[in-house]
Structure 1
Amino acid sequence: MESKFHAFMFPWFAFGHMIPFLHLANKLAEKGHRVTFLVPKKAQKQLEPHNLFPESIVFHPLTVPHVNGLPVGAETTSDVPISMDNFLSEAFDLTHDQVEAAVRALKPDLIFFDFAHWIAKLAKEHMFKSVSYMIVSATAVSQLHPPGSSLGVLPPGYPSSKVVFRENDAHAVLTDSIYYERLYHQLTTSLKSCDAIALKTCKEMEGKFCDYISRQYNKKVLLTGPMLPEPDTSKPLEERWSHFLSKFPPGSVVFCALGSQIVLEKDQFQELCLGMEMTGLPFLLAVKSPRGLSTVQEALPEGFEERVKDRGVVWGEWVQQPLILSHPSVGCFVNHCGPGTLWEGLMSDCQIVLLPFLSDQVLFTRLMTEEFQVSVEVSREKTGWFSKESLRDAIKSVMDKDNDLGKLVRSNHTKLKEVLGSPGLFDGYVDNFVEVLADLINVKT
């Protein structure tokens, strides 16, 4: 009889991390295993709808300690600008005693973690296994570099690739250089000290990078596949979006979404709006309000709403992204190349335009645009900012059926989607992943 295990999950306090961890928890619970999910108190309510097995996945709320510099009540990256992530990281580390108390009381067999570099030591002390689960691309993990080192210089043995930073990626690097030193320490310590490394990818996409990581850290690397959530067929697309999208011909609408963490300055937000307008195509732009403003409406360019009223919508709240991508009228997906979002784009029929902001997004963008050639990247100025013209040109290049670049990425995307959509491919990754985990737990140390 197959033995069942009890797993703890302790992701970084960002919804872009907690939700993918919960997708993995759902897969484990589906196979009969138990999960205790360590989560900030306020975040629990937002995560509960994603818990498909509440009888097997139990949330264990944590109190986020206050540290100087962190706004009162802040618990996740959604509560603070990226410049304050250092303070949230301090608070995150101060949950150590709460996590250890939960370990003593509930006695897990293994724990999945990412930024909590001290977890592996805790696991060894209490005689259970630790798995460093990286939800960013293997491409990004493979090029972790010491703070201050030269970007783009590949280490010996690095897989042959065009995946490097360029001069005009300055903004992406600077954006997260504020807390990069701490992050580098957390991640490399985690990868060196854990019992196994797990990556949210598949060998068909990033096999050479996964092999490199295994050699670099001398660790077994387990692949979960992309861990796409099961489509929620119980909730149809909201009427407002169904009505809006259905007004337009098949494949004509541009959908742009930049994830939960990207907050633009007002001038860049306006460039984004104007670039969408300049395409002349119908569009739905779902993006957070610019920094310092409470709504998207107060930041719109002058006269913008009147000019695009019949073909364009700017929305500052959550939308049903997978359902929008599957709508027949949507033909182009502009996104930030976050790992979960990019996978959703790859499994859709939409043309893909990438506008990365953080360094891991830049690296994955390089892989998609230059190696697989399934997408087009929005070019940037030397300052690192993009212009409305560069956004327009990227979108037009893939939406123009006679454009050679558009034909190329459309053909390559179709071929890659066929490979990734092979029957049983993703389920096979999950089955093998769970089997190896069970072996890992049973290994006597």
Structure 2
Amino acid sequence: MRLLACGPHLTYLELPKSFSTKKLSTGFYIPPSQRSLPSKRNSLKSVTETSIIQLIELHVPPLPDLPLPYDTTKDLPPHFMPTLKKAFDSAEPNLSLLLKTHKPDLLIYDFLQPWAPVVAAEYGIQAVDFITSSATITAFMHHLYKVLLITFPFPSIYLCDYDKVEVSHLLNPSKNLDKDKTRCFECLDRSSEIVLIKTFKEVEGKYIDYLSGLVGKKIVPVPLVQDCVDDNDESGISGWLNKKER
């Protein structure tokens, strides 16, 4: 796994923790550069101390148009985002070397790196897309991408006028999209048989089923709940959930 943004890191760290409770072995976690790790030290410490995860840095080659220290989205001016993605793409050979060296059984990747499953396939490694946003928005956006002229089957989800500006590239009948606009869709399409999404079947079941039909893969909900309190402390998220009906 490797992410450009710091926000989803806690979710990606929760995933191997959930594997450990099922007695499944995990591979390695590729964080952003060491420069941006200090802000996440506390969240990393609780996981790495249990020896569940081995942290391995994936070096992103510097580009002249991307001034240091901008190698993640942390404090990144928005106009540098396309350049950061270009730099990230150039890290493909480095990922290939990591996979060759560590030989994991499974690679879990995020929505910005469609080349990751291609590299993994070269070594016979299964690769699975893990989406940290909702199944609802993922299904809706993939619907716009694949079946533009057919109404989304759930009328409660629709585009407002200002939303249409943001997704105008998907509303173009010619679908002449540049590579940067199709990354997330390619990641879904290249996932090995299944796609992981941070969600609950009970909450987004119909959107999960619809997305599964769109991409032709099994969508596996991963109901991760991050709670920074002790398991026995009823004041946290788990305590709140325990008071609710199943």
TM-score, reference length from structure 1: 0.46
**Cα distance change of structure 1 residues 231 and 72 upon mapping to structure 2, 3 Å threshold:** closer
Q: How far off its partner does 1:163 sit?
A: 1.0
**Cα distance change of structure 1 residues 26 and 43 upon mapping to structure 2, 3 Å threshold:** farther
User: In terms of Rg, which structure is larger?
Assistant: 1
What letter matches 1:88 in structure 2? L
Paired residues of 2:27 and 2:105 also in contact (CA < 8 A): no
What letter matches 1:120 in structure 2? P
1:96-138 deviation per Cα after TM superposition (whole angstroms, max 9, x unaligned): 1111111011100011111110111112111111111111111
2:38 to 23, 35, 45: 45
Determine which structure has the larger strand proportion and give its number: 1
Written as runs of structure 1 = structure 2, the 5 A alignment for 1:300-339 is: none
Q: Give the match for residue 23 of structure 1.
A: 14
Written as runs of structure 1 = structure 2, the 5 A alignment for 1:362-401 is: none
Are 1:200 and 2:198 counterparts?
yes
What letter matches 1:209 in structure 2? Y
Larger RCO, structures 1/2 (Cα 8 Å, 6+ apart): 2
1:240-299 deviation per Cα after TM superposition (whole angstroms, max 9, x unaligned): xxxxxxxxxxxxxxxxxxxxxxxxxxxxxxxxxxxxxxxxxxxxxxxxxxxxxxxxxxxx
Q: Give the match for residue 418 of structure 1.
A: 244
Paired-residue identity, %: 23
In structure 1, the residue corresponding to 2:57 is in which secondary structure?
A: strand
1:82-103 deviation per Cα after TM superposition (whole angstroms, max 9, x unaligned): 3322111111111111111110
Paired residues of 1:192 and 1:217 also in contact (CA < 8 A): yes
Q: Give the match for residue 87 of structure 1.
A: 83
Q: How far off its partner does 1:145 sit?
A: 5.5
> How many residues are matched?
227
**Cα distance change of structure 1 residues 233 and 134 upon mapping to structure 2, 3 Å threshold:** same
Choose 28-37 or 153-162, whichever is displaced more. 153-162
Distance in 1 (alpha carbons) for counterparts of 2:103 and 2:125: 8
Q: Give the match for residue 72 of structure 1.
A: 68
In structure 2, the residue corresponding to 1:132 is in which secondary structure?
A: strand
TM-score, reference length from structure 2: 0.79
1:24-67 deviation per Cα after TM superposition (whole angstroms, max 9, x unaligned): 12212343422311122223333342233311201101222222
Paired residues of 1:23 and 1:229 also in contact (CA < 8 A): yes
Paired residues of 2:13 and 2:47 also in contact (CA < 8 A): no
1:144 to 134, 141, 159: 141
Distance in 1 (alpha carbons) for counterparts of 2:183 and 2:93: 18
Q: Give the match for residue 126 of structure 2.
A: 129
**Alignment gaps of 5+ in structure 2:** 169-176
Distance in 2 (alpha carbons) for counterparts of 1:19 and 1:69: 30
